[in-house]
Chain A
Amino acid sequence: SQQGEEDPQALSIQEGENATMNCSYKTSINNLQWYRQNSGRGLVHLILIRSNEREKHSGRLRVTLDTSKKSSSLLITASRAADTASYFCATDRGSNYKLTFGKGTLLTVNP
């Protein structure tokens, strides 16, 4: 079963707007990561947030983590057409090696 579940499944916005994607998970985690996948390509790591962190920034990306609600959000500010991609959260389920990926949010940024 999936550990992380992204919401919404699809999101369409205009260039310049902000995009927010959410991830919920079921069991305790040590870390949570966000990845981006452009159509038909491999995934690219965006950001890692540890279970003892509440917020992290990287450029136009802001990630929050609420362990009490077992949820994380990814905010992309001032979106660009190049941000069009699928975004996945990945959690570790407490394992040393294995990441479990959600099904992803498809973000479309219209010029």
Chain B
Amino acid sequence: DVKVTQSSRYLVKRTGEKVFLECVQDMDHENMFWYRQDPGLGLRLIYFSYDVKMKEKGDIPEGYSVSREKKERFSLILESASTNQTSMYLCASSLGQGLLFEQFFGPGTRLTVL
């Protein structure tokens, strides 16, 4: 079974801190994604990566950056956390290009920025 793990289930940070959210998948998937999920807004795509060192902006990239140095690891970085970045963050991966492939999700990281 594909396993997608995220470094923390719950995280509390202070405004202005630099925050790293880590995601690791164990099935050699090409594509990896970061979403945030907020009540009433559903899932929104922040960034995705279709290969090592490749990244593309999603729908809401402002305030975030990403890093993919190894195929299995995709990191989301909040350069200077703000209270409006309090949210559930979900990482996902998929095999190959195109949308014939399902996305496998991690358990999520609930981030609170105080």
Contacts and interface: CB of A to CB of B under 8 A. Distances in A.
Interface of A: 2, 30-31, 33, 35, 40-45, 48, 50, 88, 90, 92, 95-104
12 contacts: A33-B99, A33-B103, A42-B90, A42-B106, A43-B92, A45-B102, A45-B104, A48-B100, A99-B103, A100-B45, A103-B40, A103-B42
Nearest to A45: B102
A45 B34 CA distance: 16
Interface of B: 4, 31, 35, 40-43, 45, 48, 50, 56, 58-59, 90, 92, 97-100, 102-108, 110
Contacts of B110: 40
A33 B102 contact: yes
Contact of B56 (A31, A42, A97, A100): A97
A43 B31 CA distance: 16
B105 A43 contact: yes
A95 B105 CA distance: 20
Candidate in A45, A97, A100 with the most chain B CB atoms within 10 angstroms:
A97
B99 A40 contact: no
Contacts of A92: 99
A103 B40 CA distance: 6
A35 B99 CA distance: 14
Given A42-B90, A42-B106, A45-B104, A97 B41 contact: no
A73 B67 CA distance: 37
B99 A95 contact: yes
